[in-house]
Amino acid sequence: MGKLTRRIFLKFTGSGAAVSTLALSSAAFAQQPTKSFPPGATTLPYPQQAIAKLGDLKINNPVSFSYPDGASPCALIKKGKPVSGGVGPDNDIVAYSTLCTHMGCPVLYDQAAETFKCPCHYSIFDPDKAGQMVTGQATENLPQIVLAYNDEEKSVYAIAVQGLIYGRQANII
């Protein structure tokens, strides 16, 4: 056997590392469940997620949840009067992303003013008017979570997002 040079050593160790990495990533890829999406689809389907039972909701008391994934905080509110995009027997249940559309700060629901307020740059959003930006630095409305109401179960489900969640190129990743 010939002399072991640095070049030969690096060739063998580099090749071994590449083969190991490829084998590990192939095994991890094979274990992931495959999802089937329609060919040529430009948007991915949203998951349907149960949020709350009608009997558990109190007027003007927000319920926190995440949708469409764990990194997307949201709030559901029963307004007690029909509102734009509202669901339920009284069309009074709405939900919004709680990431401010200006810089992604978490907005808080002010029960007294019945608005979402951003503590970072003072943007205010109106949940009665589809999350419309009222004042502040934001230039976009809060993304509204599209809800569905199942009358048989008396349950509210999140089924989509209308608008782009802050910091994303697409809501479904």
Residue numbers annotated as active site = 102, 121
Structural tokens at position 25: 């990533």
Cα separation, 173 vs 161, whole angstroms: 13
DSSP strand E in 127-173: where? 132-135, 144-150, 155-162
**DSSP codes joined into one string, 56-94:** G--BT--EEEE-SSTT-EEEEEE-SS--TT-BTTTT-EE
CA 102 to chain centre: 16
Helices assigned H by DSSP within the chain = 6-31
Q: Residue 66: what are its φ and ψ, rounded to 5°? A: -120, 140
